[in-house]
Structure 1
């Protein structure tokens, strides 16, 4: 079953010690573009996080947000790095002496300098935090997958209806073609008869003209290929792999055949059928852009 490239998923876990929430969303994209925003403590797990997400999506622009809130008291984990403070002060004093500038350094300035203050985050067992992270990530990815699958089902149903219309319209063209030849032949008889004032009509010449006309407007090959493409697209949509690019290719080929039919047409009915084909194919192509 086809899946949409547009989706959203969310999962979280809350305990007395922490809150971990994960959101994942995606939009159309030619390839898989996975962007992850997460706290630094999860950086060591990035490769594994990517591998988990790739189990659920193969194409699209995917944004993953991981938020972690620790409820534990951090007050005892704040430290002043005195050696670094001393170095900053020494550098400041040296600047004042060498360039004769007034020292306006304040405590608030010092506290904002890099590495003056360090905070020791509560230490969690790496395997424990990893297990929690991956569990919540799996839940978020499953939710994300379900929304894409639900949207894909809607796309499948709508495109299937359009393919049925394409198929019936193609059959209409196929059935209309012999009538067009008969109408042309009758008009040709009337015109020649009028010009010759009822004199004998050369049947061979009429047959030759009809044959030339038939060759000119013949769309048998286009109809056969179009029917083949419609079936191929219908079959392809039943597969459970990344099929968006293949469907887009088939839609382009279908549009090519519809254009040829329209350009060859001298009959209003067939021209209208070809326009219906082009219109529906364009709608299908727009929807295919959202298929993984």
Structure 2
């Protein structure tokens, strides 16, 4: 059964008295587009997180938010290299005296020196912590898939109902086809007889030409192909794989046949059915845009 591309999932885990929260939401997209926002603590895991997400989803925009203690920043510690700091201060005081600079000007460069001030994490990113983070991401992915599955079922049920309406209309088109040909032939004959007063020089050739004209308005081939496309669409809906693009292609072929039927037909009843068919197919098209 097809999955929806819309979903949300949230999972939490606790370690070192810290709580990690993972939120994942997915929306429509032609391809798989993954965005990850994580605290600095877990940035080294971003590649593994992305791989985990890509194993669960094949289409859609996926946004993954990882937070520590419900904040998007990690607990950090500022470290100062005091011996090096003292050397720089002594040097800048010498510069100050030599060039007659103010204290603020002399010391302004010190915070910009990476060797002096560094940032370390209070919570070490050990292998066990990495496993916890990735397991929490997988748990959130599982919740998203469950939601996408439930919504996918509703979308599939709606498309199947509309497909049944289309089947019924196509059946009616097939039943109406022969009547339309006969009526069309009759109208052609009536008009020609009216203009010629019934005086025909080559009656056999005349009826042959009328049959050819009527044949041009025949929609048998279009109905046959439409039957085939409808059947294929229904079979694809039952496949256990990513089918969104395939369904979109089949629907395009169905719409093409319906447009041809509409252009060929001079029958008011068929024209009304064509309008209804186009409406149903447009609704299905809207649903397909949310199918993985």
TM-score interval, smaller chain: 0.7 to 0.9
> Structure 1: where are the runs of 5+ without partners?
none
2-structure distance, mates of 1:104, 1:16: 41
Aligned equivalent of 1:222 = 222
Report 1:118-137 matches (<5 A). Answer: 118-124=118-124, 126-137=126-137
| Contact kept? 1:32, 1:59, Cα under 8 Å | yes
Instruction: Give the superposition deviation at 1:247.
Output: 1.0
Q: 1:4 to 1:102 in 2, by over 3 A?
A: same
1-structure distance, mates of 2:205, 2:76: 106
1-structure distance, mates of 2:98, 2:29: 57
Instruction: Give the superposition deviation at 1:17.
Output: 0.7
1:180 paired with 2:201, answer: no
Report 1:69-84 matches (<5 A). Answer: 69=69, 78-83=78-83
What is the DSSP-based 3-state SS (H/G/I as helix, E as strand, rest coil) of the residue aligned with 1:186? Answer: helix
| Contact kept? 2:166, 2:277, Cα under 8 Å | yes
What is the DSSP-based 3-state SS (H/G/I as helix, E as strand, rest coil) of the residue aligned with 1:19? Answer: strand
Report 1:54-69 matches (<5 A). Answer: 54-69=54-69
What is the DSSP-based 3-state SS (H/G/I as helix, E as strand, rest coil) of the residue aligned with 1:30? Answer: coil
2-structure distance, mates of 1:12, 1:75: 17
1-structure distance, mates of 2:158, 2:101: 74
| Contact kept? 1:6, 1:27, Cα under 8 Å | yes
1-structure distance, mates of 2:118, 2:56: 39
Aligned residues: 290
Aligned equivalent of 1:31 = 31
Instruction: Give the superposition deviation at 1:13.
Output: 2.1
Q: 1:201 to 1:180 in 2, by over 3 A?
A: farther
2-structure distance, mates of 1:69, 1:141: 20
| Contact kept? 1:181, 1:210, Cα under 8 Å | no
Normalising by structure 1, what TM-score? 0.84
Cα RMSD after superposing both structures: 3.4
Report 1:203-282 matches (<5 A). Answer: 204=204, 207-282=207-282
| Contact kept? 1:81, 1:115, Cα under 8 Å | yes
What is the DSSP-based 3-state SS (H/G/I as helix, E as strand, rest coil) of the residue aligned with 2:241? Answer: coil
1-structure distance, mates of 2:91, 2:265: 86
Q: 1:189 to 1:154 in 2, by over 3 A?
A: same
